[in-house]
Structure 1
Amino acid sequence: MARNGDKRRIEPSFGDSPEVPYGLQIGPGDRIMRNDALTAPKRKAKPKARGTSRPAARRKGPGLFRRASRLVYWTAVLGLWSVIALAGVVAYYGAQMPSATDWAVPDRAPNVKIVSAEGKLLANRGATGGESVTLAKMSPFIPKAVIAIEDRRFRSHWGVDPLGLARAGVENVVRGRVAQGGSTLTQQLAKNLFLKPDRTVGRKVQEALLALWLEQEHSKDEILEMYLNRVYFGSGAYGVEAASRRYFNKSARDVTLGEAAMLAGLLKAPSRLSPARDPKAAEERAQVVLGAMREEGMVSDRQLASAMSAPAVSAPSYWTGSEQYVADRVMDDLTDLIGEPREDLVVETTVDLHLQKTAEDSIRRLLKEKGRTLAVSQGALVSIDGTGAVRALVGGADYAASQFDRATEARRQPGSAFKPFVYLAALEAGETPDSVRDDAPIRIGKWSPSNYKKKYRGAVTLTTALAESLNSVAAQLAQQVGPQTVIATAERLGITSKLQPNVSIALGTSEVTPLELTAAYVPFANGGLKPDVHTVSRIKTAAGKTIFEWHDQKLSRVVSDEKVGMMNTMMQEAVSVGTARNARFGWPSAGKTGTTQNARDAWFVGYTANLTTGVWFGNDDGKPMKDVTGGSLPTLAWHEFMAAAHEGLSPRPLPGHWNPFAAPRTVSVSSEPQATPSLDRESSGSINRPVPPADVGGPKTKAGSILERLFGR
């Protein structure tokens, strides 16, 4: 800006130049730093003396603080991001699950409790193999043992146990392997109920979420009870009841402290630690469980010492006892009777447990005593009453060793035990027990049947021919009436297997099962009626509601009363003086032995007015036995069983009426129902079991009293 008209341009500048009239410059007072700091001369740094230093606190204090601050900061950041990442993982896998509103504990797989005619347990079947037991009813040692070894903080955590997870993590790091798991009982239950046994992050996350839900929806006792009734204890046993029956042959209600410790110990490795596989390992693990229980104060020192001194438990490698064959048979029939089980059921069978055990003991004893000497390894027995109810069924020497049921599934040649159907066909064609045939070598086409040891008797009656099991005469009768007639006769009485239409059928060359062969003899024992063979009498729900009940049906007459009398006359001779003499036990009885070529099969099927029982001995691979015939082992087993079954009962005559002096005549037998003079009928059509004569006294055994209830005194 010009002054006094001076038009010169003046440029701004800094400093004391006289060209700056207004002193536009920065002086010392305009600086931030102190004037003396600017004007003071610089001092030379003094050299640091050796061996001298500042105090450590003054030198490092601020640095340590800063580093600690940074550590806290980054730890917090890392923790925050970890939480965010964990939340993301939980959200991701949780989103793959159904809505929590749809979650529900699935029903426990139905259990089928199978009991005998007198209500005693035979077996449990189903996915669990045992009925559900409440905490209040099971042994109190079981839940204590499981909590002590599997989840000590079960009563305090909320489904997931962080302390348990941390402890397991440390232990696994120390050992360098997965030595412990951190899952709670609730998590294990969640896995068993809802998830597959995959070892993935996703499954563990879902397991934890489900565990939290279970804890919200159910009490601790409910969770523990569900767990104990569903968890796997090895050897095919799910739940404490199945495991107790499997390993100790008792209910979970009666388990001791030591046994409870063994059950709890199995949970770590059910298959490896099973006492059926490794009794020593199971016992060692049980000792660990007992120690854990003592640490938790669940048992006293005295209880601990008593439990640890108990002998080790050794269980069979599979379910044992011949009643297991019955249980398998029941399960095979169950679907046909009621369809697929949807809830726990109680099945009442026709089997008498005492008779069952008697049959089992007889078969086992004979095999143990004679098996090695006679080269025989298996046996089977079936006993059926006049209504078709199976009273005993043994399918083999030992169910634990082989679950194959030879009584109902094995088809074997019956040998001469098939001859009664040949003789019945001949009687119905006009022959009588007194008819005579020439027992001599014969030839039918290219076939030349021969008698045992090739001995022949010459002219004999049909009664003698059947009692002595003469093959020549049986072949002559089969040729006379024709193989198709023999087959029709056998099928009418109950044979269901396919039979070959050739003359050799007279000697039992077509295969049948012991059950069907025995069932086909029942009409001889009950007066000519064919019953429906059955093992189930009633099926109820666990609450007691009956959903099936067997009713004696109106039976068809398949053999006339006269022909029943004729057959019983002939087959009584087989027991009295013929090949079945070893079977005699004091009751009127009849039957027929059978031995196949090279002694591969040995049979005896016999009966009284009360029971029809068939016995078979042989080898599964068809190897010949050493001189075993139907008149040896089978008759001995039959005698032992039937004597026990009839002990204490008064003898009853066999049914049927035949007048040997009446003129012979041919009787046509219709499959239609006819009058049944030997059995009384109620107005409903059901059959009253025959009532024997008055009791002549004598002691009554358990088996006798049961048969007495069945048939009267």
Structure 2
Amino acid sequence: MGDDIDRMLPRETGSHSVDFDRWWFWGARIFRWTWMGIAGLLCLALVTVLYLKSRPLPPPEIPMTTKILDIHGRPIDQLDSGEHREPIRLGKLPPHLIQATLAAEDQRFFQHWGFSAKGIARAIWVNLREGRLAQGASTITQQLARNLYLTHDRTWSRKVREAMLTAQLELHYSKKEILEMYLNKIYYGHGAYGIGRAARLYFGKDAKDLTLAESAMLAGIPRGPRWFSPLEYPDRAKSRQKMILDAMARQGKISRQEAAAAKSQTLTYAPPPKPAPARAPYFRDYVLKAAVQQWGLDEHEVRNGGLKITTTLDLSIQQKAEQAVQRYLSNQGDLQAALVSVEPATGYIKAMVGGKDYRQSPYNRVFGKRQPGSTFKPILYLAALQDGLTPLTRFESRPTVFPYEGGTYEPSNYHDRYAYRPITMQEAIATSDNVYAVSTHLLIGRNQAIQMARLLGIVSPLQPVPSLALGSSAVSPYEMVQAYAAIADNGRHRTPVAILRIEDARGEPIDPPQAAPVQQTSAPASFVLTKMMETVFQPGGTANRVGQMLPYRSIAGKTGSTHWDSWLSGFTPNLATTVWLGYDKGKPLPDGASRLTHNIWGSYMRDALRGKPNPPFQPPSGVVKVQVDPATGYLATSRCPRAREMFFIAGTEPRQTCPNHPFTTPSPPSPSLLERLKKWWFGS
């Protein structure tokens, strides 16, 4: 028995040893597998992080409202893709707004890496219980990923993509950058995207000025923009606001007293904004084009990038331009007009009207090309002055046939009115004599007028034919106004400017294109031409009636008309304006069309300049002023009956006194009786 027991003991001890060895073997293996699994998961996580870090994120799409303002900061228009936003920097928001948002949406935002373990566990439990994707774990980063890149459908594939994009956002952006994007992207209801627009919509103020109570109210909306709308469900929204304030107090972000005070504050909401139509729509369209073509911006960025575009337009002046067009064309059928106004000293566009009704036709006729008629003549005469002609240069005013290599050309004056005598350049400008213009054109050479037009900003094709002197080659009002503005500024040409500055969504200025004025023509010649163009608005000039609308104003310009187009282009020292009138399809003008053109130009300039300074045209150096007898062209004497003050380029003024009215040496007066008595008494 004892031997049996002895034989059994080792076997029992061996059994325990085998079990222990077996458990040790499997325990070590499981431990090894566990650590290998953990190491593998860590390696996989590391590879995933490196992969996501190396993979570029799509550029975040946050369409923001672009604002277009006039020179005084008044709104012209707002552009967006249906998501009305006013971008704002995180650093400009009040701290309590940020804290309220975190309390409402993601209390551990600055601690987690984009995912909330508690939120994931809760979502998994709800989804398993429902048997479908009924709930998601929504950290601020996840919400941003979904709003930036994904749809809101509830599928497993979308959730996987959301997780990857969430991780990428956390890897590529700082927490502050993510929070700023979120606050500018998230929807707050009633068409308001982003906190900047929400503050404006609900409370009529900038986001930086929101109170604690207002911030908590807005922070509660994104969870359900319609469900928690304070405008539609004020009680529900108030309850959520109180919950957020309590959470802020528990977290130590505000005191209990501050929370109580905010809860009791009565909030006043702004009235619903009314959609405002664009002001100056023709100019607005031109600004968008200039931002792309001149500033080099992308069109999508211009329309959706949250830019602030400050323009040169003055809405007060623009309104007067639109009123002038409507006043005289509202009952004229399909007769159209264009008006563009520029400040000569800067090139700033102050007003632009491309037609009488943008809703019916958005085509901007300021850039349409039509025959300018006699408004082209000042360009020719400026070339002539620089070629040595003077205001007293004379040509015959009578029916004339001009031979040239293409045949003959026989211009005619309006209503066949001729002086039938030699007339001066100044007379020809005042009366718009066509024969004089062609004589000048052929004398100085037909390419001279083209070269001068190029210097003044006209880029349209111009044909070197005799009829060019009468404006036979089509140009646009935009080209013509810059030519006249250059003359007004003594020969300095500036490309018209529509945009003063552009700020991006962060408020940083965008570098403007470089453009400097260029002295393209002789300053004395430009001034002498200007003084002659003043006669157009004086008695005997073709725009005498316009001159009566602007008494005591220094104005110069030129009228022009063809069978299809009516023009008036002119300027004061501080405003140059071109008006065109005609039909889009080029049919003949009705009787009285020129009168309409003159009335539009005159009434607009009168109203635009009302209350503004009235400086005279200042002569530059190189100009001399003399008294001239216009009948003879010589220096006037005291006996000339119609002496007139005229300006000349120094060295071209007349030097000889008028031979028809010479000075005479007056005979000495007869001595008085007292003088004769003195002479008799005292002797010689």
Range of TM-score over shorter length? 0.5 to 0.7
Write the mapping of 1:177-216 to structure 2, written as runs, cut at 5 A.
186-194=141-149, 202-211=157-166, 214=169
Q: TM-score, normalised by structure 1?
A: 0.57
Q: Higher Cα Rg: structure 1 or 2?
A: 1
Query: Counterparts of 1:447 and 1:597 in 2: how far apart (Å)?
Result: 18
Query: Counterparts of 2:413 and 2:555 in 1: how far apart (Å)?
Result: 25
Query: Counterparts of 1:263 and 1:328 in 2: how far apart (Å)?
Result: 38
User: What code does the residue aligned with 2:593 have?
Assistant: V
> What's the offset of the Cα at 1:428?
4.5
Partners of 1:243 and 1:263 within 8 A in 2 = no
Task: Pick which of 619-628 and 564-573 moved more.
Answer: 619-628
User: What code does the residue aligned with 1:211 have?
Assistant: T
Deviations 1:384-432 (A, max 9, x none): 323x53252525367788766554x433332221111223344455543
The aligned counterpart of 1:503 is: 466
> What's the offset of the Cα at 1:548?
6.0
Alignment partner of 1:420 is 2:378: yes
Query: Counterparts of 2:208 and 2:266 in 1: how far apart (Å)?
Result: 18
Alignment partner of 1:392 is 2:358: no
Deviations 1:522-544 (A, max 9, x none): 34223334456555677888687
User: What code does the residue aligned with 2:552 have?
Assistant: G
> What's the offset of the Cα at 1:374?
2.7
The aligned counterpart of 2:319 is: 361
The aligned counterpart of 1:609 is: 573
Write the mapping of 1:454-473 to structure 2, written as runs, cut at 5 A.
455-459=417-421, 460-473=423-436
Query: Counterparts of 1:594 and 1:168 in 2: how far apart (Å)?
Result: 79
1:652 to 1:295, Cα distance in 2 relative to 1, 3 A: same
Alignment partner of 1:379 is 2:338: yes
Structure 1: gaps of 5 or more residues: 1-90, 270-281, 666-675, 678-713
1:167 to 1:481, Cα distance in 2 relative to 1, 3 A: farther
Alignment partner of 1:293 is 2:256: no
> What's the offset of the Cα at 1:507?
2.6
Query: Counterparts of 1:179 and 1:129 in 2: how far apart (Å)?
Result: 30
> What's the offset of the Cα at 1:238?
7.7
Q: 519, 539, 560: which one pairs with 1:594?
A: 560
Aligned length: 539
What value does the CA root-mean-square deviation take over the aligned residues? 6.1
> What's the offset of the Cα at 1:216?
8.9
Write the mapping of 1:259-298 to structure 2, written as runs, cut at 5 A.
287-288=231-232, 293-297=237-241
The aligned counterpart of 2:296 is: 335
The aligned counterpart of 2:644 is: none
Partners of 2:554 and 2:614 within 8 A in 1 = no
The aligned counterpart of 1:568 is: 530
Task: Pick which of 484-493 and 326-335 moved more.
Answer: 326-335
1:385 aligned counterpart, secondary structure: coil
Structure 2: gaps of 5 or more residues: 1-43, 243-261, 635-648, 651-684
Query: Counterparts of 2:312 and 2:157 in 1: how far apart (Å)?
Result: 53
Query: Counterparts of 1:334 and 1:142 in 2: how far apart (Å)?
Result: 36
Query: Counterparts of 2:432 and 2:502 in 1: how far apart (Å)?
Result: 44
> What's the offset of the Cα at 1:571?
0.4
Write the mapping of 1:4-403 to structure 2, written as runs, cut at 5 A.
98-100=51-53, 106=59, 132-134=87-89, 137=92, 153=105, 186-194=141-149, 202-211=157-166, 214=169, 223-230=178-185, 287-288=231-232, 293-297=237-241, 307=269, 310=271, 313-316=274-277, 322=283, 325-326=286-287, 328-335=289-296, 352=312, 356-375=314-333, 376-386=335-345, 388-394=346-352, 396=354
Partners of 2:199 and 2:205 within 8 A in 1 = yes
Query: Counterparts of 2:497 and 2:152 in 1: how far apart (Å)?
Result: 41
> What's the offset of the Cα at 1:366?
1.9
1:395 to 1:650, Cα distance in 2 relative to 1, 3 A: closer
1:385 to 1:232, Cα distance in 2 relative to 1, 3 A: farther
Partners of 1:589 and 1:607 within 8 A in 2 = yes
> What's the offset of the Cα at 1:262?
12
Query: Counterparts of 2:400 and 2:73 in 1: how far apart (Å)?
Result: 56
Partners of 2:401 and 2:408 within 8 A in 1 = no
Deviations 1:76-128 (A, max 9, x none): xxxxxxxxxxxxxxx9xx98994246566957889998777678887888999
Partners of 1:608 and 1:654 within 8 A in 2 = no
The aligned counterpart of 1:85 is: none
> What's the offset of the Cα at 1:203?
3.9
Deviations 1:563-610 (A, max 9, x none): 3344123201012232334253533221112334234xx433222334
Query: Counterparts of 2:472 and 2:173 in 1: how far apart (Å)?
Result: 65
> What's the offset of the Cα at 1:311?
5.1
Query: Counterparts of 2:280 and 2:229 in 1: how far apart (Å)?
Result: 23
1:488 to 1:190, Cα distance in 2 relative to 1, 3 A: same
User: What code does the residue aligned with 2:293 have?
Assistant: D
Partners of 1:419 and 1:507 within 8 A in 2 = yes
Task: Pick which of 564-573 and 647-656 moved more.
Answer: 647-656
User: What code does the residue aligned with 2:340 have?
Assistant: L
Partners of 1:616 and 1:634 within 8 A in 2 = no
> What's the offset of the Cα at 1:315?
3.4
Alignment partner of 1:628 is 2:581: no
Query: Counterparts of 2:470 and 2:124 in 1: how far apart (Å)?
Result: 74
2:601 aligned counterpart, secondary structure: helix
Partners of 1:129 and 1:237 within 8 A in 2 = yes
Partners of 2:386 and 2:522 within 8 A in 1 = no
The aligned counterpart of 2:607 is: 640
> What's the offset of the Cα at 1:497?
1.8
2:552 aligned counterpart, secondary structure: coil
Alignment partner of 1:524 is 2:506: no
Alignment partner of 1:485 is 2:448: yes
1:618 to 1:266, Cα distance in 2 relative to 1, 3 A: farther
Partners of 1:422 and 1:478 within 8 A in 2 = yes
Deviations 1:688-711 (A, max 9, x none): xxxxxxxxxxxxxxxxxxxxxxxx
Query: Counterparts of 2:309 and 2:205 in 1: how far apart (Å)?
Result: 20
Query: Counterparts of 1:219 and 1:611 in 2: how far apart (Å)?
Result: 52
The aligned counterpart of 2:668 is: none
The aligned counterpart of 1:54 is: none
Equivalent pairs: percent with the same residue?
28
